[in-house]
Amino acid sequence: MQAPHPLLLLSLVVLPATGRAQAPGYDLTTLACSRFAESVFGRVESRFGTVRRTETLGREGVLSVVASPDSDGVTIEAWFDTLSVFREGPEGRDTPDTDGMLGGRYGGVLDPQGSYLAVTAPFIPAAMRDIFDFARLPLHFFPPLPPRPIAPGGEWSDGGELTIWRLADSAEAAGAVQRYRWIRRERWDEGIVVADSTIVVHRSEREEGLLLWRGGEGPLGWESDIAATLEFSGGEGRSEVTQEVRVRRLSRDCR
């Protein structure tokens, strides 16, 4: 019998609301020097003309994060300490060498609500780009947070793409844990250069997740489910992607 996920265990015991609600935020206190173990499993179903194919993909790794002061939030430097990826389809299973990415630095600015502005990115080998969009990884790595306090049972929305709910707090030996659920929807177009032409891809994405947060310490872990659709211009093809993301925070010490 498989053991239940740690995040689910924390959500089983809830506490009544006490005191004044406080807004969480990414800052030096919550992200000064931290490490996160990430596990991602996905499925891709594609159609190009009469050709259909199904693939599975995944990655596991440990990401170290160092934060420093910035006028808009914190400046982030992040890198993979360990990383493994795979993609499996009709032709077999591909497990590219990840050594070329280990230690390569992501750099950018993270605001208190989790919006990330990329400044630098590590070199990403072609074999890795074919499996995951590693260049965009920090953009949505950290879950979104509300800009104002939410009491348990309350919600906040930006009026369009993002809604965040605060659930009842859960109990743990080290203290109460705040629980936030979010749904985020996005649509955008992007161009992909193929040979001497550019193909426009229409992308839509829906993400639903659960974040565990302790005041004064920051994110303890989160899990999210993502469903994305990619439609190629001219009706040339369509892909549907689903991903399960699980992240837990490790020791506050990073290397």
Instruction: Convert the pLDDT of each residue in 92-112 to its tens digit.
Output: 999 999 998 999 999 999 999
Alpha-carbon torsion 100, 102, 107, 113, what sign? positive
Higher pLDDT, 189 or 4: 189
* CATH homologous superfamily, domain 25-249: Lipovitellin; beta-sheet shell regions, chain A (2.30.230.10)
In this structure, of 106-110, 191-195, 214-218, the range with the lowest mean pLDDT score is: 191-195
What does the pLDDT look like over 56-84, one tens digit per residue? 999 999 999 999 998 888 999 999 999 99
Q: Residue 253 burial (CB < 10 Å; 0-12/13-18/19+)?
A: exposed
Whole-number Å distance between alpha carbons of 243 and 58 = 9
What does the pLDDT look like over 144-175, one tens digit per residue? 999 999 999 999 999 889 999 999 998 877 77
Q: Are the CB atoms for 244 and 42 separated by under 8 Å?
A: yes
When the pLDDT of each residue in the chain is averaged and rounded to a whole number, the result is 87
Q: Name the β-bridge partners of 51.
A: 48
Residue 48: pLDDT band (50, 70, 90) is confident
pTM: 0.84
Whole-number Å distance between alpha carbons of 103 and 62 = 11
Query: Structure tokens of 174?
Result: 């080290």
Q: Is 235 helix (H, G, I), strand (E, B) or coil?
A: helix
DSSP string for 99-120: TTTTTPPEEEEE-TTS-EEEEE
Start-to-end C-alpha separation, the chain: 36
Whole-number Å distance between alpha carbons of 72 and 175 = 30
Domain segments of the chain: what residues? 25-249
